[in-house]
Amino acid sequence: MAVLPLSRMGAEILKKRALEVTDFADPALPALVHDMVETMDAAHGVGLAAPQVGVSQRVVLFYVPAQRNGGAEVPLTLMINPVIEPTGPDQAEDWEACLSVPGLTGRVPRWTAIRYTFQDIKGQTQVREAKDFHARVVQHECDHLDGVLYPMRMTDMASLAFGDVLQAEAKARGQVLELDEEGVLPE
C-alpha cells in the first residue's frame, strides 16, 4: 500500500464535514485504512482522520501509548462514523499538536470523560468510554470529521507556539524542554 500525503491547515477538505460511510463492502475501505495506518506510522502520529489524507469519509484511527495514559495502552483502533458524548461536566486544558498543523502546539480545552460510539470495519456498532488523554485523542481526531482543527478550539491563542521556539527559549533560560514525537509538551 502507500504512505499518503497529509493535508495541511488551509486545505478545503479540512474545512468540511466528511461524508458518512454507508458501504462497508466497498474494497476501497480496507485499502484506505491500511494506507492511513502506514501514513500515521510514517508521520509518528497517534491518530489520523481520513480528511487529513484527502478523503472525505468519517474514518478515524488512533492508538494511545501507555506512557501518555497512566500506563494503560489503548491499541490501534479504527472508528467509522464515530459519535462522541461527554459523560460528565469536567473539561481540562492541555497541549495538543496535529499532523495537519506541523510544528505548532497549543493548549486546548476538552471533555475529560466521554463515551464514543462507532462502527468497525464490518459495520458493527461498538461503544467505549474514555477519560483523560484517551478522551482527548478521540475528540481531536473526530473534530477532523467536522472540519475543526485544534486551533479553532483554543480559548487563549497566546499558547499557540512553534515547538522548536519553546525549546530554544527554555534552553536560553538554562532549562530542558522535551517534546514528544508529535511536538507536544509532555503532561
For 60-119, the pLDDT digits (tens) are 999 999 988 889 999 999 999 999 999 999 999 999 999 999 999 999 999 999 999 999
At 118-142, the pLDDT tens digits run 999 999 999 999 999 999 999 999 9
Every domain of the chain and the residues it spans: 12-172
Which residues fall within 8 angstroms of residue 186, CB to CB, at 6 or more apart? 178, 179, 180
Give the model's pLDDT for residue 176: 79
In the block, cell 484527502 appears at: 54
Give the domain 12-172 fold: Peptide Deformylase (3.90.45)
Kindly compute the dihedral angle of the four CA atoms of residues 96, 183, 74, 138, in this order, to the nearest 10 degrees.
Answer: 30
Res. 3 pLDDT band, cuts 50 70 90 = very high
93 is catalytic: no
**Among 12, 73, 141, 169, the one annotated catalytic:** 141
pTM of the model: 0.93
How far, in Å, CA of 136 to CA of 47, rounded? 11
